[in-house]
Structure 1
């Protein structure tokens, strides 16, 4: 039984056809895009960064609220052990003064006795022992010494930093999902190669069986075919394990049901990349720059403690009857608070914040160096994968021709079954290498785009 060369060539064309060249600038597979979106919505890390950004936004509102008047209603009841009164001498003086005023009003001589029928008023208490108070207080900061204004700016930069960190986490998660999706595509592409190899082995088994029946081969040949079939079954089992594992990974990353993930049939595609594509600032760099600005404003805020603060204070008592003779019913005042010396605490805190900003500057420079290095590495890896793909394609051609030649020789008793199986194994390995080459190429492209800050999903 002769295997047609055209069948092998069609196999090669069908495998290579899986990897049609497209531009990465185009949209990703819609299914992959949907999985990425689901993963971003599910990710606890991304959600935490979003919540932290909301907290920073609330910090801005808190800083602005410093200038909003604060109104407080108060209520209290107090009982003293006794009324607070004037001393005995003071009370006698007040009574004598009251008698003089009455005598003068009645035109009674100064030295005449005071008429007993005229009642005198009791001397009021300084404070009754029962005190019931209900009041309202007003506190209004007119000028915070720029402290609140600077705090608002610091919070804005902190919010931006957290947002960029969230976007960086999204990029990392998208890379994980794309890699798992591509690995699943690689597994399914490998399955097609295994199925084709199984077809070849079945044809060889059929031929060996006929050859044994006609005395042209020994049972040893059949056992070798059976061994090759068992080895292929082991590879198929490995394929099932890899598929199950990748489906579980995608399930954990995206939250998509396992049933839907099992229905996916992703295909690998090789990507062309413009090596002169622009480099955009990475989200990690933007996050560090915003954090640096936030610490700079924090340092300025610490220094603003020495600027005078101006505030308005107001108070109003609703119940006048329980006030002491010295308590006002209401008052309004403007005050200035000027922190002249605080034990050098503000200065030390400002220096600490400044050093923190210098740390962020060092991290920015370090990250930029690492990104530049990763771009160079990714470009070199991409070029290597392109060259490797060309080499593997030649290997497939050679392995195909070799298998055809050895198969013909075997049919004519010029080659052993071992040589046929070795040629078939080489063809299978070459096909695997091609798929792995395209997988590596996609990895290099995504890593390069991520390094350049141009990864879109």
Structure 2
């Protein structure tokens, strides 16, 4: 069985060698690139990646020193009530602080600070946090590749459908031409009494049926051009001038396996990200160390202190301060913050991260098994489609020979017009089925490329 499959497979590629063209033309590659550039879903994913990249840089920039400036101006007033042991002055005999004493103070204050801070040690939070963020970006980049594959497949599938309808149009047009010639021959035969109007009417019915199919075909073709225009931002009138190649695909030179799928690589990066996040949580007990430098200016002015005391002459004792200026005031130092007990918050975070990492690891194993099976299925499907294509080609050739024979037999009166029209229909169907098989083979080829992570513009250029 395997030997026969292999022989058929090589037979198919010798069949494909009759085509001198690449899998995709330069025009088709250009339209695919246009669709990738236009895709709003892709742009959204790229914008999110840009945000993640900025956030990763922001994590690493925690070690960059910061410089702060703050200033304060205000007016303050307070009432001070004190009750301390009484003090009797030796000469005057005045008693100070007798009972409860009240002072009223007021002042204007201005203060300015210039502070520089620098994180010296983050407890490894910055290091592991930035690495986790980088792995997260890797995962999203791999998923971006998968998104591109989906867009590429959609665009190529649209090419296939357009060209399939064009091939159908050619087959129908040629059938119409054959029927028109046959109809003219029948009309002459009717005049000479060699045929009956029934034959002419059967041909007319067949022509009307083909015309109906053509109307539907043009409607579908218009929709496909509109869809391709939406995907590529190229006007339908321009797309109608392009020719898309509907030919079997040759996938020689593709060496990737299912393990190269971007989805698997994304999961691997996610697992690494959880690993770094786990290390970050486990090291949260380490202290954070920060250097600090401050330059300050302070000014206390227009200050006064009213006391309840009086001088011997009866004048109240009130103290005034015109200005008390402190500048420059320097402070240089190193500070440490150490969470000795956080109420089990870090312990809970570590447990959650462990569970998330386990989920990602199990998901990766599950996806690997499914993708392995899918890749094998696509390989078998591709080989089957290649063999079916060979058979459909032979079937089309047989149908064409049968049609030529039927036309001769009808003219010699050996078969009826119904038999001829049935043979014509069989030839149409076999030809259209052949082109449908090519479209199916190309679609399976796309799935095979996706199953190995090989569907990208560079591989399509080969």
Q: Does the alignment reach a TM-score above 0.5?
A: yes
Asked if the contact 2:23/2:247 (under 8 Å) is kept, the reply is no
CA offset at residue 348 of structure 1? 0.9
Which structure carries more helix by proportion? 1
> 1:178-233 CA distances to partner (integer Å, 9 max, x unpaired)?
11111111111111111111111111111111111111111111111111001100
2:289 maps to 1:310: yes
Distance in 1 separating the partners of 2:141 and 2:283: 28
Residue 178 of structure 1 aligns with which residue? Answer: 156
Q: Which shifted more, 242-251 or 428-437?
A: 242-251
Distance in 1 separating the partners of 2:186 and 2:195: 7
CA offset at residue 272 of structure 1? 2.7
CA offset at residue 314 of structure 1? 3.1
2:67 maps to 1:47: no
Residue 376 of structure 2 aligns with which residue? Answer: 376
RMSD, matched Cα: 3.0
2:246 maps to 1:268: yes
Residue 232 of structure 1 aligns with which residue? Answer: 210
Asked if the contact 2:299/2:324 (under 8 Å) is kept, the reply is no
SS of 1:28 mapped into structure 2: coil
Distance in 1 separating the partners of 2:86 and 2:214: 111
Which structure carries more strand by proportion? 2
Distance 1:151 1:326, change over 3 A: farther
CA offset at residue 362 of structure 1? 2.0
Residue 75 of structure 2 aligns with which residue? Answer: 79
> 1:406-455 CA distances to partner (integer Å, 9 max, x unpaired)?
22221122211101100000011110111111111111212111211222
2:385 maps to 1:385: yes
Distance 1:87 1:438, change over 3 A: same
Residue 413 of structure 2 aligns with which residue? Answer: 413
SS of 2:33 mapped into structure 1: helix
Please, which of 198, 201, 206 is the counterpart of residue 176 of structure 2? 198
> 1:253-293 CA distances to partner (integer Å, 9 max, x unpaired)?
22222221122221211123349844261111111111121
Q: Which shifted more, 126-135 or 146-155?
A: 126-135
SS of 1:31 mapped into structure 2: helix
Structure 2 unaligned residues grouped into runs of 5+? 1-14, 93-102, 304-322, 458-462
Residue 274 of structure 2 aligns with which residue? Answer: 295
> Aligned runs of 1:86-101 on 2, under 5 Å?
none
SS of 1:415 mapped into structure 2: coil
CA offset at residue 140 of structure 1? 2.0
Structure 1 unaligned residues grouped into runs of 5+? 1-17, 97-110, 114-124
CA offset at residue 86 of structure 1? 9.8
> 1:230-262 CA distances to partner (integer Å, 9 max, x unpaired)?
110011112111211211221222222222112
Distance in 1 separating the partners of 2:66 and 2:208: 82
CA offset at residue 164 of structure 1? 1.3
2:33 maps to 1:37: yes
Q: What TM-score does the superposition give when structure 1 sets the normalisation length?
A: 0.83
Distance in 1 separating the partners of 2:190 and 2:50: 78
SS of 2:77 mapped into structure 1: coil
Distance in 1 separating the partners of 2:80 and 2:325: 12
Distance in 2 separating the partners of 1:90 and 1:73: 45
2:107 maps to 1:141: no
SS of 1:340 mapped into structure 2: coil
CA offset at residue 356 of structure 1? 1.2
Distance in 1 separating the partners of 2:83 and 2:361: 76
CA offset at residue 456 of structure 1? 3.3
CA offset at residue 398 of structure 1? 2.2
Distance 1:138 1:88, change over 3 A: farther
Distance in 2 separating the partners of 1:182 and 1:130: 83
2:44 maps to 1:65: no
Residue 103 of structure 1 aligns with which residue? Answer: none
Distance 1:168 1:92, change over 3 A: farther
Residue 12 of structure 2 aligns with which residue? Answer: none
Residue 441 of structure 2 aligns with which residue? Answer: 441
Distance 1:157 1:220, change over 3 A: same
CA offset at residue 325 of structure 1? 8.2
2:235 maps to 1:257: yes
Distance 1:214 1:147, change over 3 A: same
Residue 358 of structure 2 aligns with which residue? Answer: 358
Distance in 2 separating the partners of 1:386 and 1:309: 65
